Structure 1
Amino acid sequence: MIRTGKRSDSAFTLLEFFAGSGLVAYALKKYFRTVWANDIDEKKAAVYIANHGNSHFLTADIQTISGVDLPTADLSWASFPCQDLSLAGQTAGINGARSGMVWEWLRILDEMSVMPPLLVAENVEGLVSAEGGNHYRVLHEALRSRGYKIGAVMLDAAYWIPQSRPRIFVIAIKNDMELPTELVSNGPTWMHTKSIAKVADSVQDWVWWNMPEPAVRQETLSDIVEWDAPCDDEVARQRNISLIAPNHLERFISDRVSAAPGYKRTRNGKQVLELRFDGIAGCLRTPKGGSSRQYLVLNCDGELKTRLLTIRETARLMGAPESYKLPGSYNDGYKAMGDAVAVPVAEYLAKHLLSKLALVASRNSQGGTELDVERTPRVVTAI
């Protein structure tokens, strides 16, 4: 049995940067109480405040924030902008105008009187795969130089919910912490891609984080569809169906698929609606253009219908509860979900790794008073 430092019965504390619509705060609330959160986007901030209140939320440019003004905390989480690291974007890299905001996060932590012992940085797969992993190496060294040991894992939301959404989670803990053996492995696990393994071989103070592999997901796309939602009119329906490749349309009908998602793409100078047939949606994105919005083709008692995903469907695809409020326009809600972290992914990470690492850090700071690391912190019903 692993023993760690004694804590009070309150949850651990969290600082969240680039907090967006608040799904991380919701996912972590059983284990971490958010004491401060920030985002620059006023529309996403409206979603956050509608669900979590405004007592600890600051709507501001991160470049205007000073670390001396922040409360101490056990964990600092940063889902920093992905545009410059996305393989579909400009790939300006980790020093780009958007993704480079990660350095503001580190600047603020440097300015705090006590840096959090535990850090998480979340981003797209390009963080470890683009340019041979060089972007990740720069971030890894920046964390290592601040006294942390670090490891990265890839968690795909498809393990838990019917959406393909692979994301990289960089997890760092102060390098003087002695880690329980069950929280680390001797090499790659189900969470480590070839790109991660490659960068691991080229950096110092690397940690192979370990968590149990989740059970096989049972839910499919059909289970989250709002079947009574309005569909396209006849003109738009026929137009959308005409964009589906003949082999895709034939498969949809012959396999009696109930619901298939798709994105509009330009192939060989021609617009097409590409479907997928694995029972999960494609990765949600921010709705900047028609190609970023995901369509559904539905079989309604033998009649093919088409429409965009509803906002509630996007929330379900992110694992948000039915009660989660999404104020604003359709695009506001789509952006709030498409630019967020899936709830069950963050919750799984908190339950199986982050809360246990926070207990390890607590033992270190409190002189090693015994407490079982398996203890679950008190559930916090509101933040």
Structure 2
Amino acid sequence: MALLERRGRFGGLGGLLERPRGLLSARLRALLLANKDLRWFALPLPDPPPPLRTGLSQIVEPLPEDSPRWWSEAETQRHVAMMSESHRRYVEQLARGSRFAYRTFYRRRRSAGQRAEVRRDEIAGCLRTAVGGSGKQFLIRAGGGQIRMRAMTPREYARLQGVPDHYPIDAPDTYALTAFGDAVCVPVIRWIAQHALNPLVAGATARPTTLFDDDGG
């Protein structure tokens, strides 16, 4: 959805052609104007839906306290020790709250060694496959004097991709995380299909006469 939200002033081919001359070479401009196969870039798309205002806590799958998905206290403290001082203070502040707060963090290789770097918002980063390496994110639950950590579940991956909860997930975690990590966001593709792809297939695309004429000029 972020891609659609950024369409704004310079969205689509029409917007691209309206960019300041310094941002678009004369050769590229001529190519876009001359190629009728690029006409679909000038579709009269409506404004995208407003971004969601709910946070990460809305997609977290409630797990029992004794679920084996939660890391041990020793493993959790090992990752807390991998945080910079400012990140550690931030997580400890969340832990002092009366309600649970959810954040994601990444393991990154830095010059000072491996670090656990915490996002300070309720936004999940880009999803990765089950072997996502340093780009793989993990979940922190902090509050009530506790800090707990675990990997994200396949259902949480599915929710972040806009997959409804009634969709069955009957594959092992590794396969499910890989599938959802390599997938596309369902609401975004549905919007593109409804407003761009389906009209093209149906032949209902409005001809952008301000950009092209019969001789391709």
Fold equivalence (TM over 0.5): yes
Over 3 Å counting, the alpha-carbon distance change for 1:320 and 1:198 in structure 2 is: farther
Q: CA deviation at 1:188?
A: 4.2
1:186 aligns with 2:29: no
**Residue of structure 1 equivalent to 2:209:** none
1:244 aligns with 2:87: no
Over 3 Å counting, the alpha-carbon distance change for 1:360 and 1:262 in structure 2 is: same
Structure 2 CA distance for aligned equivalents of residues 258 and 157 of structure 1? 28
1:223 aligns with 2:58: yes
Residue pair 1:224, 1:313 contacting (<8 A) in 2 also: yes
**Residue of structure 2 equivalent to 1:340:** 183
Amino acid at match of 1:215: P
The structure in which a higher percent of residues are strand is 1
**Which structure's CA Rg is the greater one?**
2
Structure 1 CA distance for aligned equivalents of residues 42 and 2 of structure 2? 18
Residue pair 2:106, 2:138 contacting (<8 A) in 1 also: yes
Gaps of 5+ in 2: 7-11, 207-217
Q: CA deviation at 1:277?
A: 1.7
Amino acid at match of 2:93: S
Residue pair 2:138, 2:149 contacting (<8 A) in 1 also: yes
Structure 2 CA distance for aligned equivalents of residues 348 and 280 of structure 1? 21
**Residue of structure 2 equivalent to 1:317:** 160
1:358 aligns with 2:201: yes
**Residue of structure 1 equivalent to 2:211:** none
CA offsets per residue over residues 241-264 of structure 1, 9 Å max, x none? Answer: 111222112223436571111111
**Residue of structure 2 equivalent to 1:59:** none
Structure 1 CA distance for aligned equivalents of residues 51 and 167 of structure 2? 26
**Residue of structure 1 equivalent to 2:119:** 276
Q: CA deviation at 1:267?
A: 0.5
Structure 2 CA distance for aligned equivalents of residues 158 and 253 of structure 1? 36
**3-state secondary structure, aligned to 2:105:** strand
**3-state secondary structure, aligned to 1:333:** helix
Residue pair 1:295, 1:308 contacting (<8 A) in 2 also: yes
Gaps of 5+ in 1: 1-154, 160-165, 167-183, 364-383
**Residue of structure 1 equivalent to 2:101:** 258
Runs of 4+ in 1 over 6 A off after TM superposition: none
**3-state secondary structure, aligned to 2:150:** strand
Q: Count residues with an aligned counterpart.
A: 183
**Residue of structure 2 equivalent to 1:212:** 47
Over 3 Å counting, the alpha-carbon distance change for 1:359 and 1:308 in structure 2 is: same
Q: CA deviation at 1:202?
A: 6.7
More displaced 10-residue stretch of structure 1: 318-327 or 255-264: 255-264
Structure 2 CA distance for aligned equivalents of residues 294 and 202 of structure 1? 43
For residues 1-383 of structure 1, the aligned pairs below 5 Å read 155-156=1-2, 186-188=14-16, 198=24, 201=29, 203-204=31-32, 205=35, 206=38, 207-209=41-43, 210-228=45-63, 230=67, 231-254=70-93, 258-360=101-203
TM-score scaled by length of structure 2: 0.71
Over 3 Å counting, the alpha-carbon distance change for 1:352 and 1:237 in structure 2 is: same
